[in-house]
Amino acid sequence: MSVRIPRRKFLLGSTMLAASGALGLQPAFAQQAPLRLTFWGGQDRATRTYAVADMFSAEAGTDIEGEFIGWDDYWTRLATQVSGGNAPDILQMDYRYIVEYASRNAIAPLDDYLGGTLNLSDFDEDQIAGGRVGGKLYGVSLGANSASMIYNATVFEEVGIAPPNLTTTYDDYRDMGEAFASANVRNGIKVLSDSSGSDIVFENWLRQRGAALFTAEGGLGFDEASLLEWFRLWSDLREAGIIVSAEDQALSSASAEASMIIMNKAATTPINSNELVVYQGISPDTLALTSYPLIGEGTGGHYRKPSQFFSVSGTSQNAEQAVAFISYFVTNLEAAKVLGVERGIPCSAAVRDAISNDLTPASRLALDYVASLGDLVGSLPPSPPPAAGEFSKALGTISQEIAFGVRSPEDAAQAFVADATSILERSGG
């Protein structure tokens, strides 16, 4: 499901003015040109973002016009805006796309603002590094997160088995799936959603084997044999009835509301750790986080990554003020209390200290999860190649063809390696 608020203008009403006075913010009298902001997410993220935008407007005297839209449609719309010369001043950017947008000069380097308009003095260094492309800073991390499995603890209680934890393997999920089949609760809910088309879950599995999704040069970091093993793993789980059916998985989208766990189709599904806040907000059950499944004994495949960035359009006529908003968004202590950890664990040490005592239970769980991963966390991989987004969509499509019986795992593995190689070569990878 996609929600879009087109060209929404964040204007201060009497209530917000009173609140800004209580926070010590004084409305500026010198009105600046309005800024345009675009981001993906749901209503909870929008509400938090709008509130901080209003706080910034009260202090800086700059109105902000913006829109939010679901992930599935965000990148198509943004590409249209950029190619049409109508890009917003401030763009929410993802790790998979930042190289592509930087290489096309669609977003601007921010290094000249560091130490001045852009204050990242107490930011985690790995989060700053995550926003660099070719040595230049193109994105400011809005929070750190790690990939995770969200699980419905209430359902596991109903089935009568322990939920997954940091040591749970793919084989353990098979055993859990058999217990779910015997219990047959909630109209036959499965233990696990189908992640065969997720590049993030696949990458984690590859990293456990000492491989990678992409090489540092932007090529494929895996071979056809590895991909075939991956496709067979999920085909076996599907045929055994451990994971959701192809028909059910096809109903899923990037929105929490249309996820397998919220729709009561699966008790466990992959998300980014910061998303727990949203999922718990719309579920009557008790939800929690754990790591991706392990192949067996050994190292995990996780890493801490920027959950998303704010970047400035390469064509912005008001870049200085756009950077000022970004700096305010990630460093202002009152703004931090509004934002919480919905976009990830704050990258500023001062901000983390400011919000630590005011977190909701779900926010605390998200923070504690990232801190608990220990040896499962490895180094951040190199920035993905420009075509990482296209690669991700292609993997999702071909995995669905396997699930519906259109392709065999063998045919799909051979075809995808050829297609993915061509995709990366066209983009310069």
| Within-domain flag for 190 | yes
Task: Kindly report the CATH number assigned to the domain that includes residue 123.
Answer: 3.40.190.10
pLDDT band at 71 (very low <50, low <70, confident <90, very high): confident
Q: How far apart are CA 130 and CA 310, in angstroms?
A: 12
Chain centroid to Cα 373, Å, comes to 18
Of 122-131, 201-210, 229-238, 404-413, give the lowest mean pLDDT range: 122-131
Q: Is the per-residue pLDDT at 29 higher than 80?
A: no
Token pair of 177 as six digits: 């799936």
Q: Are residues 268 and 188 in the same domain?
A: yes
Distance linking the first and last C-alpha atoms of the chain: 32
Q: Are residues 192 and 267 in the same domain?
A: yes
pLDDT at 408: 98
Tens digit of pLDDT for each residue in 280-304? 999 999 999 999 999 987 678 999 9
Mean pLDDT calculated for residue range 368-393: 91
Q: Are residues 237 and 125 in the same domain?
A: no
pLDDT at 297: 72
Query: Is the separation of the CB atoms in 290 and 151 below 8 Å?
Result: yes
| Within-domain flag for 365 | no
**Which residue range is the domain that position 218 belongs to?**
147-304+375-426
Q: Are residues 199 and 93 in the same domain?
A: no
Q: How far apart are CA 270 and CA 279, in angstroms?
A: 12
Mean pLDDT score across all residues of the chain? 90
pTM for the whole structure = 0.83
Q: How far apart are CA 191 and CA 100, in angstroms?
A: 37
Q: Is the per-residue pLDDT at 2 higher than 50?
A: no
pLDDT band at 383 (very low <50, low <70, confident <90, very high): confident
Sheet harboring 268-272: ordered strands across? 268-272, 147-152, 287-290
Q: Are residues 228 and 316 in the same domain?
A: no
Residue 246 neighbours by CB under 8 Å, 6+ apart: 194, 238, 400, 403, 404, 405
| Phi, psi values for residue 270, rounded to 5° | -80, 140
Query: Is the separation of the CB atoms in 241 and 190 below 8 Å?
Result: yes
- Angle at which helix 43-60 crosses helix 14-22, to 10 degrees, equals 70
pLDDT at 31: 54
| 3-state secondary structure (DSSP) of residue 114 | strand
Of 11-15, 200-204, 304-308, give the lowest mean pLDDT range: 11-15
Q: How far apart are CA 124 and CA 352, in angstroms?
A: 11
Mean pLDDT calculated for residue range 225-252: 97
Q: How far apart are CA 274 and CA 263, in angstroms?
A: 20
Q: Are residues 419 and 284 in the same domain?
A: yes
E strands, 134-259, are 136-137, 140-141, 144-145, 147-152
Q: Is the per-residue pLDDT at 167 higher than 50?
A: yes
Q: How far apart are CA 234 and CA 229, in angstroms?
A: 9
Q: Are residues 123 and 20 in the same domain?
A: yes
Tens digit of pLDDT for each residue in 255-278? 899 999 999 999 999 999 989 999
Tens digit of pLDDT for each residue in 145-159? 999 999 999 999 999
Q: How far apart are CA 361 and CA 367, in angstroms?
A: 10
% of the chain beyond a pLDDT of 90 = 81
Q: Are residues 245 and 279 in the same domain?
A: yes
Q: Are residues 174 and 108 in the same domain?
A: no
pLDDT at 6: 38
| Within-domain flag for 366 | no
Q: Is the per-residue pLDDT at 89 higher than 90?
A: yes
pLDDT at 325: 98
Token pair of 280 as six digits: 């718990």
pLDDT at 426: 84
Q: Domain count of the chain?
A: 2
Q: Are residues 316 and 247 in the same domain?
A: no
| Within-domain flag for 370 | no
Tens digit of pLDDT for each residue in 205-224? 999 999 999 999 999 999 99
% of the chain beyond a pLDDT of 70 = 92
DSSP 152: E
Q: Are residues 184 and 128 in the same domain?
A: no
> Tokens 């605390």 belong to which residue?
364
